[in-house]
Amino acid sequence: MKHLRLIQRAIEHGDRIALSTDREQYTYNEVVDRSSQIAAAILDSAPTPSDDLAESRVAYLVPAGFDYVATQWGIWRAGGIALPLSLSATEKELEYALAACDSCMVLSTDELAPRLSGLAQRIGINHLVIDPIAESSRDQLPTIDPDRAAMILYTSGTTSKPKGVVTTHACIEQQIKSLIQAWHWNADDCIPLFLPMHHIHGIINIMSCALWAGAKIEVHPRFDVDAIFKRVSEDAYTVFMAVPTIYVKMIETLESISPSERDSVIGGFSKMRLMVSGSAALPVSVHRQWTDLTGQKLLERYGMTEIGMALSNPYQGQRRPGSVGLPLPGVEIRLYGDDGQTIQSEDVAGEIQVRGANVFREYYGRAEATKESFIDGWFRTGDVAVLEKGYYRILGRTSIDIIKSGGYKLSALEIEATLLDHPAICQCAVVGVADETWGECVAAAIVLQKNQTVELDDLRSWCKERISAYKIPRRMLIVDDLPRNAMGKVTKPDVTKLFQ
Ligand code: MCA
Ligand code: AMP
């Protein structure tokens, strides 16, 4: 049996510590062994038990940590496509995620089982709880070709419902190897993991890179600034990766704690070999404040679910605030103008387009959307950038309907569709409004049905049952009509102005 490279490397890392929490730690051997037990149990309980899942979709709702890695690798080793579900998803969102990619099975821990058992029964898919899985029932697991599909991650965007981004093992491997090389990952590294595990920032940049390198991941159930600061002041970490909102929150906390505590936390930060920011624009002011406080120059990089990481400031060399640097190893970048020509000179804005082995295979079941997202083999990111003195700088996005809040990519259209389901709402427009902490904050202008009223707090509670908390509009306005142009079309820039 030939193993996937990530698993083979884990076998070689053997008795090193792969993951730790405040109570337990697990070696690479333990993770590999557990993943083979889970793989065998998946194959035994598949709708048609077989020796290979052959790219069937297997979803899982498992918190970050030992169980998460063993489950993801278990699905891969059984030949399936791993589909991580969001811990903050509502039942409706879970149902959509399971149905839209035709999952044959869903796995969960015992603790999270109540969130899935009724749903799985209702939609008629197997639900396997991993805790009771014991000995492996199989000597052999299938050999997995690297060109097989490995993972589906949902990404929100220019369509109302999220699309499932399908990546292959080869693609994931390329994404990992590029970062290992560019950011000098090594077996002596230790990194905290507190980001959600249904997006690539947590899955690839942190978890998979660390495990590829033989490094140690310290798992936190969520981002808790006090818990992180305690460990930073104990010099626990060599590498740190977070979204800009987290740096803003850490600056606020650093400014509010006692001088002695602050000195010890800053000591820990200043000794790290690498601190990275990404998933959303890092304001220049935050970049500078962080350097002033800790002496660390944050390395800002740019990526996307469909392509992994594409651009990065250098590990050695100038890390320029406000810029996302240069193409990562193995990634080809071009800027594409409105005139359909590749931009050849600096200081001219164009869409970032990407080519390379890092690029995803398809949007699951959406052949048309997949086709439209490529031009001559280049993936169209929808992000606009400019090349300035050799470094790329992001200027914005081509679609106003994509909102980035707290590092999450949100679809204004999805939130609008949810609001429109409310019986009192007749029309609405959702926009992202600039916000110092969250980057953008979700705002909704709402027109009510005739003779209807609604309490905004009630509306928020109503949304809470339908969409994840981070998608719920923080700001809402009831208006008589939405701003429109001469053709009667809603003008979102004018909607944004309503909140300024
Ligand atoms: C939460 N709150 C918000 C938002 N989210 N308010 C405004 N806008 C928001 N987006 C409110 C809550 O309602 C609550 O308010 C209070 O803030 C605290 O909420 P909580 O959820 O506890 O916040 P947190 O735990 O501090 O979370 C902040 C966070 C989280 C850690 C920054 O948003 C996060 O993990 N973001 C990372 C997402 C990520 O990994 N993205 C990567 C995607 P109240 O107290 O009033 O109820 S991958 C990607 O983008 C690409 C590929 C890339 O390049 O990486
Ligand atoms: P996602 O679909 O969640 O993978 O989000 C990808 C999007 O995040 C990109 O298309 C960009 O719009 C945004 N993004 C990621 N990193 C950066 C960055 N450093 N600066 C600005 N935008 C970023």
Q: What pLDDT digit, counting tens, does each position of 269-294 carry?
A: 999 999 999 999 999 999 999 999 99
pLDDT of the residue at 164: 97
Instruction: Report strand pairing: 105-108 vs 190-193.
Output: unpaired
Question: Does residue 197 form part of some domain?
Answer: yes
In angstroms, what CA-CA distances link 344 with 21, 83, 341, 374, 463?
Answer: 49, 39, 9, 20, 47
Assigned token pair, 137? 């029932």
Identify the bridge partners of residue 62 per DSSP, sorted by sequence position: none
Write the residue with the smallest CA distance to atom 7 of ligand 2.
Answer: 304
To the nearest whole percent, how much of the chain has pLDDT over 90?
97
Tell me, what's the pLDDT at 280? 98
Q: What is the pTM of this model?
A: 0.97
Residue nearest to atom 39 of ligand 1 (CA): 407
CA-based angle 55:100:468, to the nearest 5? 120
Structural element, H or E, at residue 275: strand 274-277
Q: If you average pLDDT over every residue of the chain, what do you get?
A: 97
What spatial distance separates the first Cα and last Cα of the chain, rounded to whole Å? 61
The CATH number of the domain holding residue 330 is 3.40.50.12780
- Residue bearing the CA closest to ligand 1, atom 52: 304
**In a domain? residue 177:** no
Nearest CA to 209 among 173, 240, 170? 173
Q: What are 146-159's pLDDT values in tens digits?
A: 999 999 999 987 77
Report how far residue 187's alpha carbon sits from residue 13's, in angstroms, rounded to the nearest whole number: 9
Phi, psi of 362 (to 5 degrees): -170, 165
Distance 403 CA to ligand 2 centre (A): 10
Phi, psi of 169 (to 5 degrees): -60, -40
pLDDT at 160: 79
**Of 470, 472, 499, which is best to mutate to test ligand 1, by the most ligand atoms within 8 angstroms of its C-beta?**
470
DSSP secondary structure string, 168-183?
A: EHHHHHHHHHHHHHHH
Q: Are residues 337 and 412 in the same domain?
A: no
Distance from C-alpha of 412 to C-alpha of 401, rounded to nearest angstrom: 5
From the alpha carbon of 199, which atom of ligand 2 is closest? 3
Residue at a domain's end among 397, 414, 437: 397
Residue 485 burial (CB < 10 Å; 0-12/13-18/19+)? Answer: exposed
Taking CA atoms only, the protein residue closest to ligand 2 atom 21 is 281
Q: How many C-beta atoms lie closer than 10 Å to residue 228's C-beta?
A: 23
Ligand nearest to the CA of 64: 1
- Give me the count of residues in the chain: 500
- Give yes or no: residues 417 and 283 share one domain: no
Q: Is 31 exposed, middle or buried (0-12, 13-18, 19+ CB in 10 A)?
A: buried
What is the extent of the structural domain holding 480? Answer: 402-497
Whether residue 307 is found in the same domain as residue 259: yes
158-167 pLDDT per residue, tens: 777 999 999 9
Question: Which tokens sit at 275?
Answer: 């601190």
Is residue 149, in this structure, part of any structural domain at all?
Answer: no
Structural domains counted in the chain? 3
Nearest CA residue ID for atom 22, ligand 2: 280
Residue linked to tokens 């090389």: 181
277 CA from centroid of ligand 2 (Å): 11
Label residue 135 by pLDDT band (50, 70, 90). confident
Structure tokens given for 375:
């031009």
Residue whose CA is closest, atom 12 of ligand 2? Answer: 383
User: Closest ligand 1 atom, CA of 88?
Assistant: 21
Does residue 296 share a domain with residue 201? yes
Kindly give the number of the ligand 2 atom that is closest to the alpha carbon of 201. Answer: 4
> 467 and 413, same structural domain?
yes
Q: Tens of pLDDT along 230-262?
A: 999 999 999 999 999 999 999 999 999 999 999
Inter-CA distances, 44 with 103, 129, 422, Å: 16, 13, 43
Instruction: Among 109, 144, 179, identify where a domain stops.
Output: 144
Which pLDDT tens digit goes with each residue over 287-343?
Answer: 999 999 999 999 999 999 999 999 999 999 999 999 999 999 999 999 999 999 999
Contact 296, 273 (CB under 8 A): no
Question: Average pLDDT of 370-394?
Answer: 98
> Do 346 and 311 have their domain in common?
yes
**Can you spell out the DSSP letters for 80-104?**
PEEEEPPTT--HHHHHHHHHHTT-S
pLDDT digits (tens, 9 = 90+) for 396-422: 999 999 999 999 999 999 999 999 999
Which pLDDT score is estimated for 26? Answer: 98
- The order of strands in the sheet holding 163-168 is 126-129, 105-108, 57-61, 81-84, 149-155, 163-168, 362-363
**Inside any domain, residue 236:** yes
Look at residue 157 and tell me if it is in a domain: no
Best probe residue, ligand 2, of 409, 410, 411, 470 (max atoms within 8 Å of C-beta): 409
Query: Are 84 and 97 contained in the same domain?
Result: yes
Report the pLDDT averaged over residues 111-118: 97
Q: What is the CATH number for 463?
A: 3.30.300.30
Place of tokens 């297997």: 58
Sort 427 into a burial class: Cβ within 10 Å, 0-12 / 13-18 / 19+.
middle
Judgement on whether residues 463 and 437 belong to the same structural domain of the protein: yes
Q: Which residues form ligand 1's pocket by a CB distance below 6 Å?
A: 195-196, 199-202, 222-223, 243, 245-246, 278-279, 303-305, 405-409, 438, 441, 469-470, 474
User: In this predicted structure, what is the pLDDT of residue 137?
Assistant: 81
Would residue 163 count as lying in a domain?
no
pLDDT of amino acid 168: 98
Distance CA 276, CA 360 (A): 23
Give the distance (Å) from ligand 1 centre to CA of residue 470.
6
A 10 A CB-CB count for 74 gives 28
According to DSSP, the β-strands at 475-478 and 332-336 are: unpaired
Question: Do residues 380 and 413 share a domain?
Answer: no
Query: Would 316 be classed as within a structural domain?
Result: yes
Instruction: Indicate which ligand has the atom closest to the C-alpha of 225.
Output: 1
- How far, in Å, from the CA of 343 to the mean position of ligand 2? 21
Which ligand number lies closest to the CA of residue 351?
Answer: 2
To test the ligand 2 pocket, which listed residue (279, 286, 386, 399) has its Cβ within 8 A of the most ligand atoms?
Answer: 279
Point out the ligand nearest to the CA of residue 385. 2
pLDDT, tens digit (0-9, with 9 covering 90-100), for 342-360: 999 999 999 999 999 999 9
393 and 320 in a single domain? The answer is yes
Same domain, 341 and 383: yes
Domain boundary among 397, 422, 454: 397
Strands (E), 71-226: 81-84, 105-108, 126-129, 149-155, 163-168, 190-193, 216-219
Question: How far apart, in whole angstroms, are the C-alpha atoms of residue 202 and residue 294?
Answer: 24
Which residues have a Cβ under 8 Å from the Cβ of 193 and sit 6 or more positions away?
Answer: 64, 202, 206, 207, 217, 218, 219, 220
Q: In whole angstroms, give the CA distance from residue 210 to residue 113.
A: 29
Q: Identify the CATH number of the domain in which residue 91 sits.
A: 3.40.50.980
What is the arithmetic mean of pLDDT over 13-17?
A: 98
127 plus 54 within the same structural domain:
yes
pLDDT band at 136 (very low <50, low <70, confident <90, very high): confident
Q: How far is the CA of 473 from the centre of ligand 1 (A)?
A: 13
For residue 56, what pLDDT band results from cuts at 50, 70 and 90? very high
Cα of 406 vs centre of ligand 1, distance in Å, is 4
CB atoms inside a 10 Å sphere around CB 389: 10
pLDDT for the residue numbered 245: 98
Distance CA 250, CA 236 (A): 17
Ligand 2 atom nearest to CA at 156 = 2
Around ligand 2, the residues with Cβ closer than 6 Å are: 155, 199, 278-281, 300, 302-305, 324, 381, 383, 394, 397, 404, 409
Q: Is the CB of residue 95 less than 8 Å from the CB of residue 115?
A: no
**176 lies in a domain?**
no
**pLDDT band at 86; cut points 50, 70, 90:** very high
| Measured distance CA(215)–CA(141) in Å, rounded | 26
